[in-house]
Amino acid sequence: MNDRISSAIKRIQHYQFENGTYELQTGLCFFLAGVFLLPLPMSSSTQGMIQGAGIAGFILALLLGEYFRRRFVYPPSGYVNGIPGTAKKRISRFWPVFLLSIATAIMIVSPILLIDGGPAGDAGAAWVILTTGLFLSVLTAFLGLQSRVPRLLVVAIIMAGLAILFSPAIFGTRPYIYGSHQTPYWVIYASQLFSAGYFLSIGVVFSISGGIGFLNYLHANPLPVEVVDEQ
């Protein structure tokens, strides 16, 4: 009995991730986060516009993902509830996740607490993208193994490589100073460049992976043809 339940759970997990829509959503959200973090000199009004556009973009990503699932995924293969149970049972599952999230957040920001900021005061923050990227890559690999979707393992490896690339291990922590007629003195810190570059990059990676998964899913599960009643 337990084997049949475990097998059913694995089929649900595979079903949820094989179509690529969650990766497309994640990729768009990460890309928007990268745009949001770009270290550009701008006025407060421009910052407010970008923040508003970013929030609208996140909402749009969620709505588009749900639309794709309802339009292209559910018709040929059906809807499967991946989180069964009563509201009380769902809430009971929240506490372990909440505690794990706190521990993970502490681990991710630990470089800020443990590494001397240096003359620019940015050394610790510059290493945060490495801990963030490695954690995200481990999480993606876990989801790939759990859902039996091999392309997520490839994405996880690329994410780990990009985390190392956009870290002081490669570029150091030196700030960059830029000047122009409009902005005579503009300091760009390493952490700003690393964060924007990393999220933009993994946004593209997730989008490509999700696009491949989505196209493969449509090829293997074509939409049912509606029979036209000519009477």
In a domain, 51, yes or no: yes
Site of tokens 């923050």: 125
The tens digit of pLDDT for each residue in 2-12 reads 566 566 556 66
Task: Check if the beta carbon of residue 224 is closer than 8 Å to that of residue 75.
Answer: yes
Site of tokens 């996880």: 156
With pLDDT > 90 as the criterion, what percentage of the chain qualifies? 29
Instruction: Tell me the sheet residues that pair with 178.
Output: 186
How far, in Å, CA of 76 to CA of 7, rounded?
Answer: 21
Site of tokens 């443990």: 114
pLDDT at 42: 65
* 58 Cβ neighbours under 8 A, 6+ residues apart: 29, 32
Token pair of 41, please?
Answer: 């000199």
Q: How many domains does the chain have?
A: 1
The tens digit of pLDDT for each residue in 175-213 reads 877 766 666 667 888 888 999 999 999 999 999 999 999
Task: Check if the beta carbon of residue 205 is closer than 8 Å to that of residue 177.
Answer: no
How far, in Å, CA of 18 to CA of 16, rounded?
Answer: 6
How far, in Å, CA of 126 to CA of 47, rounded?
Answer: 23
Task: Check if the beta carbon of residue 163 is closer than 8 Å to that of residue 129.
Answer: yes
In a domain, 94, yes or no: yes
In a domain, 71, yes or no: yes
The tens digit of pLDDT for each residue in 52-109 reads 777 788 888 888 888 888 888 887 766 666 555 555 665 666 666 667 778 788 888 8
How far, in Å, CA of 96 to CA of 119, rounded?
Answer: 40
In a domain, 208, yes or no: yes
Question: Which contiguous run of DSSP H or E holds residue 188?
Answer: strand 186-188
In a domain, 114, yes or no: yes
Q: What is the pTM of this model?
A: 0.79
Instruction: Tell me the sheet residues that pair with 188.
Output: 176
The tens digit of pLDDT for each residue in 127-146 reads 999 999 999 999 999 999 99
Q: Of 19, 13, 121, which Cα lies nearest the Cα of 68? A: 19
How far, in Å, CA of 194 to CA of 173, rounded?
Answer: 10
In a domain, 18, yes or no: yes
pLDDT at 38: 83
Structural domain harbouring 118: 2-220
In a domain, 226, yes or no: no
